[in-house]
Amino acid sequence: MSADLVDLVQRLGRPRVLVVGDIMLDRYIWGNAERISQEAPVILLRADTREERLGGASSVATMLQALGAQTSLVGVVGRDADGLRAQQILGDLGIDTAGVVTDRDRPTTVKERYIGRAQARHPQQMIRVDYENRAAVTGEVEAELASVAAELLRNTDIVLVSDYDKGVCTPKLLAAVIATAKQRGIKVIADPTRGGDYAKYSGCSAITPNRLEAGLATDRTITTNEQALASAAELRDRLGLEAGIVTLDKDGMAIAHRDGSSAILPTRVRQVYDITGAGDMVMASLGLALASGADYETAIRLANIAGGLEVEKIGVATVSRDEILADLLHAPFRAAERIPGVAKVVGLPNLLTELERRRASGQRIAFTNGCFDVLHAGHVQYLAEARRQADCLVLGINSDASIRALKGPTRPMNPVEARALVLAGLQDVDFVTIFADATPLSLLKAVRPDVLVKGADYRKSEVVGAEFVESYGGRVHLADLRDGFSTTSLIERMKAA
């Protein structure tokens, strides 16, 4: 696990992402596969649940929104009930639909999947039924799409093209989008369709075909890293890209940069339940990271994590920043015996859910915070006293970036995942959560502790959040500090040694 990825997740912000491509409605019919039909030798599915999600480019938009981006979508729906439903879901998710054009001459693309459970468990996809028109949109619709895309590009940090070959991503539309984006210094990343002429992606910043798509585009069968890198380099040169990227499923990704350098960025082996949506998740997380200022290789490493989490879920599902952060923090221990306390490291949504349960059972919550860069006996004594003030102790720790802002570029000595795991191993600590702000005030307002604990080297008037906690009847406790222990002096002694 690399600390730079944890730091990246914590500073992703809310970049503005424009997604251009094919809007789809994914419908799932769930049920128990009970027996063979008497009418024909086919499985009889007793349906019990119907679910609708967004697919294609709208899946990428959904995933971006769940990851915290400000997302706009350019695409087409039909003048039908499915089109209205897709737009309703987009609106409910807060995705900007100003670029969604209604085409009366084509149906909304729908993929209907039937998911059967064997003996009420082990869900598996049995069949998929597609409703679609794959012909290119008409010139009138194409012009309208280009117009709304140009308008949205006035307020965009990155463009993602999600081409599922359903008629939206025409050469003329993509040429217009790419040209306008280039004029404004905006990256364009394309996830290309299988087969066909890749010339329409010329001028993109990068494209992300999978191994089959890249193989078809470069007339190769890609079974080795060398073949993947060769295809990535060929696509880079042919299309004038900053980088050619080939996704290699369980083997990670290959990247060939414009300067001639290249790399294979591996991913961790996962328990694969369903590959549906993995490519969309890679596209969404890659775009989000690039829009937040990450370089290509760091963005790919983050996308490998997000795509891996996606295949562990059934169907097209979203992944949150908290899930990515938790996976990064826990990753080294998944294949081995669990280290005691590691499950205590939680993101804010999971923390608040757990605190609700604790409060419902009558427990009182204490909160404290700090950098805890190099743990020493003074910290242990302090946390023990903090825990005695209530039934549950929540410990907020500064992210690496916030420590650098507070203490300078040489700190922290230990990255956030190491600090979190050490602190979680202490018996007196119930939960560890990470905050990226200069102060813990936002976190404190979310937790609303019964007791706020800080060291006695502060006066109560100096404690961040003291007034807030007392405003609803909580109290502030100033804990004794053990003489002779200081992280700064400890670091100086270690350097001197």
What does the domain layout of the chain look like in residue ranges? 3-23+56-107+134-333, 342-496
Active-site residue, selected from the candidate residues 22, 96, 280, 400: 280
pLDDT in tens, 194-249: 877 899 999 999 999 999 999 999 999 999 999 999 999 999 999 999 999 999 98
| Confidence check: pLDDT of 275 > 70 | no
Give the type of residue at 127.
I
d(CA 71, CA 442): 24
Check: CB of residue 345 under 8 Å from CB of residue 395: no
Question: Does the fold of domain 342-496 match that of domain 3-23+56-107+134-333?
Answer: no
80 catalytic per annotation: no
Check: CB of residue 372 under 8 Å from CB of residue 419: yes
d(CA 477, CA 455): 8
Residue 456's pLDDT band, with cuts at 50, 70 and 90, is confident
Check: CB of residue 197 under 8 Å from CB of residue 216: no
Sign of CA dihedral 380, 382, 387, 393: negative
Residue 376's pLDDT is what?
Answer: 82
Query: Who wins on pLDDT, 371 or 267?
Result: 371
Which candidate, 207, 305, 290, places its Cα nearest to that of 256? 207
As beta bridge partners, residue 398 has 435
pLDDT in tens, 400-440: 888 888 888 878 888 888 888 889 889 899 999 988 888 89
Residue 493's pLDDT band, with cuts at 50, 70 and 90, is low
Pick left, alpha or beta for residue 354 (phi over 0 → left; psi -120 to 50 → alpha; otherwise beta).
Answer: alpha
d(CA 418, CA 348): 19
The count of C-alpha atoms lying within 13 angstroms of the C-alpha of 477, restricted to the half-sphere facing its C-beta, is 23
Is the pTM above the cut of 0.75?
A: no
Residue 137's pLDDT is what?
Answer: 95
pLDDT in tens, 147-201: 999 999 999 999 999 999 999 999 999 999 999 999 999 999 999 988 778 999 9
| Confidence check: pLDDT of 60 > 90 | yes
Range with the lowest mean pLDDT among 49-58, 78-87, 178-187, 269-278? 269-278
| Confidence check: pLDDT of 54 > 90 | yes
Residue 146's pLDDT is what?
Answer: 97
Residue 339's pLDDT band, with cuts at 50, 70 and 90, is very low
Determine which helix (DSSP H) or strand (DSSP E) holds 441, and give its type and residue range: helix 441-447
Sign of CA dihedral 322, 323, 327, 328: negative
| Confidence check: pLDDT of 318 > 90 | no
Cα–Cα–Cα angle for 277, 349, 419, rounded to 5 degrees: 100
Residue 330's pLDDT is what?
Answer: 57
For residue 141, give both structure tokens. Answer: 């619709």
Residue 474's pLDDT is what?
Answer: 94
Q: Hunting for tokens 């300067």 — which residue is that?
A: 259
Determine which helix (DSSP H) or strand (DSSP E) holds 353, and give its type and residue range: helix 348-360
> Domain 342-496 belongs to what architecture?
3-Layer(aba) Sandwich (3.40)
| Confidence check: pLDDT of 390 > 60 | yes
| Confidence check: pLDDT of 22 > 90 | yes
pLDDT in tens, 62-119: 999 988 899 999 999 999 999 999 999 999 999 999 999 999 999 999 999 999 988 7
pLDDT in tens, 351-375: 888 888 888 878 899 999 998 988 8
> Domain 3-23+56-107+134-333 belongs to what architecture?
3-Layer(aba) Sandwich (3.40)
d(CA 237, CA 253): 18
| Confidence check: pLDDT of 33 > 50 | yes
Residue 497's pLDDT is what?
Answer: 56
The number of beta carbons lying within 10 Å of the beta carbon of residue 353 is: 10
Q: What mean pLDDT, rounded, does the chain reach?
A: 87
Q: Is 434 helix (H, G, I), strand (E, B) or coil?
A: strand
Instruction: Output the DSSP codes for 185-215.
Output: T-EEEEEPPSSS-GGGGTT-SEE--BHHHHH
CA torsion 63-319-224-262 (nearest 10°) is 70
| Confidence check: pLDDT of 274 > 60 | no
